[in-house]
Structure 1
Amino acid sequence: MFPLLSRSLKQIPQRLLPFCPIRRTLATKLSHQQKGPRVQDWILDIPAYISFRVQGIPRYPAPNPKNWRIAEEWLRPLQPHFDRYTSGSVEDAADHISAQGGFTQTSSSEVVQDDYFDAQVGQVLLRGRNARQNPLVYLALKKKDWGMIAWIVRVITEQPHFRHDDHLAMTMEPISIKHMSNLPQPATASFNDLLAQPLFLEMDQPPQSVTEVANRSSALSSRIQIQRAAINTVLEFLGQMIMVSYTCKNVAKSQMFMDQVLNIFAILHHNSVIPDLTYRSMKNSSESRLAPPQYLADLYQPMLTAILDAEWNIYQEHPELATFSSVAQVEIPGYEFPAHNNPKRILPYCHGIWLELLLWICLRGHWMHAGGSIIRMINSTKSPIDWKSSSWRKWLPSSSDDRCVIPPGTISTEVLNSYVEAMIDASATSSSISGIKEDTLIRYMQHAKELLHKDQTAANSLEWERTMSRYLISKDLGTSNVKILKASKLISDLIAKKHPTETSTKDDGLIEGEIRDDTELRGIPLRLLTLALEQGDIVLIRELVEAMELQRIVTGSHEFLKNLLLCVCDSDQYEAAHDLLFKLPSGPLIIKDHYQEPELAASLVRYAVSTSNRALLIDILKPAVLTNLPQSKSTLALLICQIETRRWSAVLSTIKALEDGPSGDWQLRAFVILVKEVLTLQGKRSKSVDAGTDTAGLAQALDALSLLSIKMLQASPRQSEQQRASTYTVLGVLASIDPEWALFCASALRGAKRTLAQNKHTHVITSLSPDFMAVLLQGVANFGGLEAVAHIWQTWCIPQTSQGIKHRAALVAHFRTDSEYYPENWLLVDFPSWAKIRYVGKMQPSLSMVRVLLTQDLLQPYREQGENSSVFKSLAALLGWDEKMVRKHLMQGAEPYKPWALVEDYRRDREEEREDAEDGAE
């Protein structure tokens, strides 16, 4: 046995022996005269142990399982452990692990892990965290098995499945000892042959980022995620143990917890888990918000020494060997650490320093879940001293005291603001932060806010407000109602009745007194309300408005009030909208101040008509307001609302009130919509069994139509020829429906006799927007069905010839401008004797007009008649298309109808006919 040990020791370079405690450990084991498999197994693991101590990574794969009994014995209890963990509790799982042989601290460094064992151990922590029971906390507080905790941390962190994406290569790569078994070996090589091969030195490979290793197999990517999540649990456990040590009333017990925490820090440092530039080389780092404070850089050497002390002691199995100490165990000149559970005031037992370091480790390594959980624990700790926040600049030496005094139970505001900003940046880019849900993210930010507000300085409060403002403004527009409400509660302190004012500024950058209100902070409530507006939830808007004092915030925000009113008018929750607009303090006064805004007035008119708010309507339409208010949008909104709700007496009153007002496009739109509603009402009346249904309403509607048509036909200096021609075209379409409508239009033209020429014949160019014509066709369809639509189409629309298809395909309304007029297109006028208005040209159909023809409700009665119906022949003649093509499209019953498919088929058929004709000519 001893020759084998001697041969293994000879393979270790002499200059590498000081880096590991192998000699002391070896001497201790030999002095105890250990014999049997225990000594042999320990000797066989010497190369792996040396490599583990120098680099932290096993450097050679496991040999054949037949020759490595210790690996087989170590992995045997793994499967029953997982079976018990799946069906049992965390306590049962931990008890089962502790009951197995080879799972103690003495054997943890004497085994080489299986390729996937670290992932299996990581799954233990993840399942425990999902069950809200951290197995590490159970082992520490109840079982007090810190050896097993250290073993779990080693297993998780030894395998180099990842490197930090901010990992920077040092000036000299660490030298690692690799075994010759890395080289290809014969299949018949025994374990003794592998062990007899010498060690050699080799520079380590450059570190790889998470992005590079993620491109490997899915199994490796899954192991990377498991390892990062497990390390996240370990870091969270460290924070919890620091808080337990801080709240412990027994000084010796508190210091024992801190010793164990430093042991875990040592393992993380040993296995390169701690990111670069966390506490090293801070003086060369950039002055960014994500850079740790300066005092950590100044304490770099003592902190690293304390970690190395723990790293030395953790690998010793006997107390007489774990006595190494350094300058970290005594007072450090220039620094005064708190005496809470630290009578000697030394660095290893200063809870705030190590908690600050742990938070920066989580931030730099992107373990945001662990960092947020630690912040939550800090804020929830109430005894014996409440934790608070303070800027580390206050701890720097002053003129009266040349020492850096670190107060007890204090965390720096810099690390809290850095966490909030990192969460904001990740949320703004829609990236996932270690799988943190947004609700959890908001809770972490709320705990950070409460800690920041424990520092009563105005500068700290302003920094938080601006940080939260950036968070709210950067949120996605699709935020749910629950998240908005949580965010509103989160910033409720920002919406105060009085905004502070700036007083003075010190040379060191700290602001005393109060801070002046700025637009960024005042934009937070408006941003929340805008998110609610985009969702159209009036009830949520009402809750936010009541919490945020809408009458004070939106006084100078016309844009926001306009969006609010538009949302109210488009919603059906009129009761909630009424409370929102008029029952809040000074709400009506704010709305009254915005009567002069055209779009706001139009929205208010729609709301007043929909809710029968006569007082509001009178205030908006009174002469003092109308003299300065453009009428296009407000009057159109008023008339359309009244027409669609069929309040004909109100329509008559509105038209009479605006009789002296200017004319415009709004009149034509309202006129066309009124014609459609009257035609629809007539169609329902003719189809009803009771012929006297709504006779009074129809009479009032006709009176309103006659009054509005006369107003439109009266000459006005601002009325263009195009508007006048469009009005005549609408009357001509109505007159061609039936004789009754022809007499109605003649009567309307007689009432507006000033507009007509004195000759017997007046020529009017056919001019009407295709959208307006589509509205008219819809009314005609409601009045007389498809036959009436076909009649209007044939009379006023150009047949779909090849020339018509060309213009219609381009979606351009085309009107003939020559002197041609059609005998059927004329309108009789009794002024002073019968005269004719002749229309020149026809209208080019548009998609909106064709869509009216292909409406399911319009064609359903004809489709039910079967293929022998005359509708196909009529439509074919109407559109100028082939009857078979029309029959194919209409009988297939496909929904929705696609009129452009008819056009494409027609164009394709015509192109094929033209090609055939050209081929025949050739």
Structure 2
Amino acid sequence: MAIARPICAFDTRNYLANLLASRTLCVPEFLAPALARPPRRALSSSRHCQHSDAPQSQQRRPAGPSSKFSRVQLPEPPLRNDIEAWTAAIDVLLPRHLRRQPELAVDTIHHVATTDLARVLLEAQKFSHDILGHICLVEKRWEAAIWVIKQLLETGPPAVDKTVELGASGSGIWPPMNSKSLLDLTYSPIVASKTGPPREPQHSLWDLTLPPNSINPEKVFFKRALGQVWRSLGTLILEAAEDGDSQDKGIMPHVLEILALMHHDGWIPDSVYRDDPVRYDLALHQPPTLHLLSSSIMRALSDAAMRAREATTKQPQDKLNASYLFGREIPGSRYQVHVSGIRPELWLELVLWSSLHGGWVLDGATILERMLSSPAGSRWRPISWKQLFKDELEEDNASSKGWRLFGRRQNDGAKADASARVQKTISCETIAAYVDGLINLVRVGVGSRGTAPEEIVRHITNLKHFLDRDSYSLGSATWDSVAVRILESGGVIPEKRPDLLMDIAQLAPEFGTEIASHNSLSHSTADGAEIPYYYEPTAVSISLLHRTMRSFIENGDIMGAVKTLNTLVQHTDNNKQKSLLQFFESLKLTQRRANQPFTSWIPPIDYPAFNAQLPVPLLVKLLDLATQTRSFHLGRWLLLSEDLDGPAITRDMYDDANMAAAIVRFGTLANENDLVMKVMKKTGFWSGTQQAHRVPNSLLTALMASQVQLHRWDSVRRMQDFVLQNPGYRPKPELLAIFAAELLRVANGKGGTTKGQRAEAFSAFTDLLFAWEGLLLTRMGNELYTVLTMLSSVDTQFRKVCSQFLENSGRYKVAISTSNFNIILSGVLDAYGSIRGRALVDLWCHRQPGAYAPYQAPGGLPTMSHLRRAKAKDYEERPEDIEFTQASGATVVMQGRVLPDRHTIRGIIRKIQQDVDKQRQSEKNLEGSKRAQIRETLRWAAEKLHYLGLDDEDVARELGDVGEIAELQDPDSVEATDAPMMAQP
């Protein structure tokens, strides 16, 4: 009997290592780290290579396209706008006999990868070049284009993924129950067959959970290249449709050959030919034309494929030696030389619906936009197949049936009319389906998935123009619902990109346009049917414009706010005008008797977009922005307009406390004293608890700020005592910002102030701070320290004043709004100029480009991070603290920064514009150093505007006449230079 040897730990590790090496792992390493092979050599293993006959575990992982395209030589950047350069780039990848000059061609590439061809096509697409279309239409090299398409189809990933099908996991298999009625299923027994014994799973967890469509970069890259093939097919069909007889050009036979290849490889989905019964007449559905003509389409594609196969014989000697069982031609081709009745319009429908069902929505939308840009003499137009079928049915029912008894057919004139009706038409259902599909592609900030909302809105706007041009609508939805769906997708942050929200708001239709369109169901109301519910008027258009205006105001963009206001007023005026036209047209159709009084039986229309309906809080913000930017003409239009509709701010709005405060602020700077007195008479209330006449806090702040701006320091002191005698007032940071701005203007002495006036202003400021010390420290301590330290950083003469309130060391947060910061900046610009204003922005505002990422991201939504950001990372990347050391040794540390807006940068540009205009009026040229400083400041301003989301055209518009001084060549080459140093704290 053999003696059993004890198993030690050393042998156990060797046994487990060999077992893991010889066994295929079914679970990936990241799910089961204990079963994963260690990254380094085990202590018990040998240094020599161990050969094993057992198969190694091979995990299938997504393989992306190679980033090294050494075989592809793309055109140089100066030549990338030339299609010939791109054609020469792809010509190198073709076989020798398919190149432009086969006799001079040299085989430099022995093997052509699919990614090489795909990359050239996609890179040329970025510059709006269609290489395949150019090769076919201009160079007439159809064989070369078909060879490229064959390479993409044959060597690329398969069209249909073989999904893993799991076996039955239960103890029985249920029989199919679709053919049985509810009565049979209820009263009859259900017999279920048994399954076999449980078996080991044949697929790993990796295979079962890997979605290839979203993770496999190679398939995504290849699918984009096939999208360019669909675009080229659309271009070829559009070119063929320009002539009535497309066969003369020789385009359609080659197009059918390409379609046959794509049909054979499964890239045309079967759902294109499916015609599901319409359960709901108002829902969007595909026209049944492709379903009804599917047999003719198959015959045409089969005939094209057989003729193409017959033409593949290259050498004439092969044709002579070839043997034919049924004659020279392929069987069947001699009997069906040409398939009639299929126009290019139908093939275009097939291409568009195949692109839509296959996921090439953007490429199909590009084909539709190309149809929109066709010349006026031969333009394409939409057509409603639902309405067309209905009209044909009515004509058949109304026509006489007498001649049909003798077997008479339809005359040729009627056929010609029917053919002319569908010439150069595309179904409006196709356009509506693409609008619906584009919304589903909106980028939501997850990786690289989706398309930028700006591009989606641009495509949808073009498709809307396509439908509106011939008085068509979506039919199954409204444009208001489309705008709401884009916002609800989550890919648009209106507060960061208000210009995009304005483009979305412009999708809203005007009064009566959708319900009067050709494909709307309102035409059947005479038969007793009701108007679809989604045609009911909504307030989406004006609400989107309200939100757009609010976003522009919060960003300090007065130009954007005024543009939105003009759009809103124009939209409401157009709706009123169309309503009046419709009313008078209906009166013409009404017959009245002689001497009958004028009465109207038309009920009133409740349409929300007849009036702007601007809310009071939005008007308050707009009036305050007009006051800050000194746009007094806008404020007077809002308050004192003499239009037919009256001013936007009516008299009954004066009772609102915030509106009254805004009017006081505007009237003080615009010298509208009568308006201020009207507001003061209407506001105010009697306080029963204090037995005194009280003024709202917002209005009291506005009154006190106006007195500060007018430098009436005695009135400021009286109002200061009034607050102390009547408790309950809450000061606002706006008052401190205005006081600081006026101190900056007075201290410099540029406004003609004397030394005594400056001393009086400083005395009023210190008296206010000492008197309201309790109110300020308890209500807004951080705001107080922020304003004091900002004043200290501008000039040394403010340190002595502010040091009285900065005696204790401490850390405080920079707590000041952007609007209040702009008020202080305006004082710096007026007193010290643009150079010092730029230095203030550099010191107190964010300088890292990451702080402006939402303004630059598509739709205002930054890309989500792959990993969760740690709090320690935020702490490490925080802005540097701003320290102020006083004479007493106390150190005040300010933490944080202010996020500037467009008004911040505009103030500096406006100041430069004023200085340059003064130099030009005095006929003096700018000195070298002065011009260099202005140039650097303008470049810095252009960089900040780019950070805030403005493009090159918007930046050039903002710079105006001084843009030539900046000498901006390329926005990417603009680098921020060190700003002049502020007063060292």
How does the TM-score come out when normalised to structure 2? 0.51
For residue 332 of structure 2, the aligned residue among 300, 321, 324 is 324
CA contact (8 A) 2:241 2:344 kept: yes
Looking at structure 1, the residues matched to 652 and 550 of structure 2 have their Cα atoms a distance apart, in angstroms, of 21
1:645 to 705, 709, 719: 709
AA aligned opposite 1:860:
Q
| 2-structure distance, mates of 1:410, 1:227 | 31
Say which of 607, 610, 619 aligns to 2:666.
607
Report deviation, 1:547.
3.1
CA distance in 2, matches of 1:352, 1:443: 25
Task: Output the aligned Cα RMSD.
Answer: 6.0
State which drifts further: 625-634 or 374-383. Answer: 625-634
Q: Which residue of 2 aligns with 1:861?
A: 887
Relative to structure 1, is the Cα distance of residues 294 and 115 closer, same or farther in structure 2, using a 3 angstrom cutoff?
farther
Distance 1:460 1:158, change over 3 A: same
Choose which of 143, 148, 153 in structure 2 pairs with 1:147: 143
- Structure 1 residues 675, 401: CA separation in 2 closer, same or farther (over 3 Å shift)? closer
* Structure 1 position 81, deviation (Å): 8.0
CA gap 1:675/1:311 in 2 versus in 1, 3 angstroms: closer
Tell me the amino acid that sits aligned with residue 561 of structure 1. Answer: L
Find the partner of 1:381 among 374, 381, 395.
374
Which residue is equivalent to 1:578? 635
Q: CA deviation at 1:429?
A: 3.8
User: Which of 561, 576, 580 is matched with 1:541 structurally?
Assistant: 561
Which of 403, 406, 411 is residue 426 of structure 2 equivalent to? 411
Is 1:446 the counterpart of 2:461? The answer is yes
Q: How far has the Cα of 1:612 moved from its partner?
A: 4.0
- The one-character-per-residue Cα deviations of 1:39-96 (angstroms, maximum 9, x if unpaired) are xxxxxxxxxxxxxxxxxxxxxxxxxxxxxxxxxxxxxxx9988589998724445666
Residues 1:227 and 2:222 aligned together: yes
Given the alignment, which residue of 231, 236, 248 partners 1:241? Answer: 236
1:135 is matched with 131
- Unaligned segments of structure 2, at least 5 residues: 1-68, 101-108, 166-201, 314-318, 320-327, 398-409, 574-608, 688-692, 793-797, 813-880, 898-985
Distance in 1 separating the partners of 2:129 and 2:731: 72
- Where do 1:153-192 residues align within 5 Å? 153-161=149-157, 163=159
CA distance in 2, matches of 1:204, 1:284: 40
What is the letter of the counterpart of residue 213 of structure 1?
Answer: P
Of 81, 85, 88, which aligns to 1:89?
Answer: 85
Within a 5 Å distance, the mapping from 1:459-858 to structure 2 comes to 460=475, 463-468=478-483, 470-471=485-486, 475-477=492-494, 480=497, 483=500, 491=507, 494=510, 505=525, 517-549=537-569, 555-558=612-615, 561-562=618-619, 564-565=621-622, 568=625, 571-575=628-632, 577-578=634-635, 581-582=638-639, 585=643, 588=647, 590-623=649-682, 631-642=695-706, 644-645=708-709, 647-648=711-712, 651=715, 655=719, 663=726, 665-666=728-729, 692-694=756-758, 770-771=778-779, 856-857=883-884
Q: Secondary structure at 1:427's aligned position in 2?
A: coil
Give the unaligned 5+ runs of structure 1.
1-77, 105-112, 170-202, 332-343, 706-728, 735-765, 794-798, 809-853, 863-870, 876-889, 899-922
Give the deviation of 1:154 after TM superposition: 0.9
Structure 1 residue identity aligned to 2:886 = Q
What is the deviation of 1:594? 1.9
Query: Cα offset for 1:494?
Result: 3.5
The Cα of 1:290 is off from its aligned counterpart by 7.0
Identify the residue that residue 307 of structure 2 maps to in structure 1.
Answer: 313
C-alpha distance in structure 2 between counterparts of 1:897 and 1:589, whole Å: 39
Displacement, 1:452? 1.0
Residue correspondence of structure 1 range 79-118 to structure 2 within 5 A: 82=73, 89-93=85-89, 100-101=96-97, 117-118=113-114
Q: 2:293 is matched with which residue?
A: 299
Q: Is the 8 A contact 2:704 2:719 kept in 1?
A: no
The structure where helix makes up a greater share of residues is 1
Inter-CA distance 359–560: structure 2 relative to 1 (3 Å threshold):
farther
Q: CA deviation at 1:624?
A: 6.6
CA distance in 1 between partners of 2:75 and 2:755 (Å):
83
**Mapping 1:276-295, distance limit 5 Å:** 276-280=270-274, 282=276, 292-295=286-289
**DSSP 3-state at the match of 1:293:** coil
For 1:590, what is the secondary structure of its paired residue? coil
| Preserved contact between residue 469 and residue 521 of structure 1 (Cα < 8 Å) | no
Report the CA distance shift for 1:508/1:473 in structure 2 as closer, same or farther (over 3 A). farther
- Look up the equivalent residue of 1:477 and give its one-letter code: P
Alpha-carbon spacing, 1:103–1:329, altered in 2? closer, same or farther (3 Å) = same
Task: Give CA-to-partner distance per residue, 1:342-394, whole Å, 9 cap, x none.
Answer: xx5x12xx222221221122222222331121111211224764321122212
Letter in 1 for 2:887: P
Query: In 2, distance between residues paired with 1:497 and 1:160?
Result: 47
Partners in 1 of 2:741 and 2:307 — Cα distance? 95
1:247 to partner: Cα distance: 0.3
Counterpart of 2:356 in structure 1 is: 363
* Identical columns (%): 17
Deviations 1:554-586 (A, max 9, x none): 643316634643762684353475366357645
3-state DSSP class of the match of 2:655? coil
Distance in 1 between residues matched to 2:507 and 2:658, nearest whole Å:
32
* Aligned residues of 1:290 and 1:418 also touching (Cα < 8 A): yes
Deviation at 1:157, TM superposition (A): 1.4
Following superposition, the deviation at residue 593 of structure 1 comes to: 3.6
Partner of 1:825: none
Q: Secondary structure at the match of 1:441?
A: helix
Deviations 1:653-699 (A, max 9, x none): 9959x989995622677999699989999x989xxx98734466689
Alignment check: 8 A CA contact 1:533 1:567 kept: no
Seen in structure 2, the aligned counterparts of structure 1 residues 274 and 80 have a Cα distance that, compared at 3 Å, is: same
1:533 Cα deviation after fit: 3.0
The answer to whether the 8 Å contact 2:237/2:255 transfers is: yes
| Residue 264 of structure 1: how far off its partner (Å) | 1.0
Residue in structure 1 matched with residue 260 of structure 2 by the alignment = 266
Contact 1:503/1:515 (8 A) holds in 2: no
Answer whether contact 1:316 1:322 (CA < 8 A) is retained.
yes
Residues 623 and 666 in structure 2, CA contact (< 8 A), matched pair in contact too: no
**Rg bigger for which structure?**
1
Of structures 1 and 2, the one with the larger relative CO (CA 8 A, separation 6+) is 2
**Deviation of residue 210 (structure 1)?**
12
Structure 2 Cα separation of the partners of residues 678 and 433 of structure 1: 46
Asked if the contact 1:565/1:603 (under 8 Å) is kept, the reply is no
> Structure 1 residues 230, 674: CA separation in 2 closer, same or farther (over 3 Å shift)?
closer
- Out of 248, 251, 260, which is 1:253 matched to? 248
The separation in 1 between residues aligned to 2:335 and 2:511, in whole angstroms, is 51
Contact 2:153 2:262 in 1 (8 A): yes
Q: CA deviation at 1:240?
A: 0.7
**C-alpha distance in 2 between matches for 1:242 and 1:228:** 21
Q: Secondary structure at the match of 1:541?
A: helix
CA contact (8 A) 1:390 1:413 kept: yes
What displacement does 1:526 show?
2.6
Distance 2:509 2:364 in 1: 25
Shift of residue 268 of structure 1?
0.9
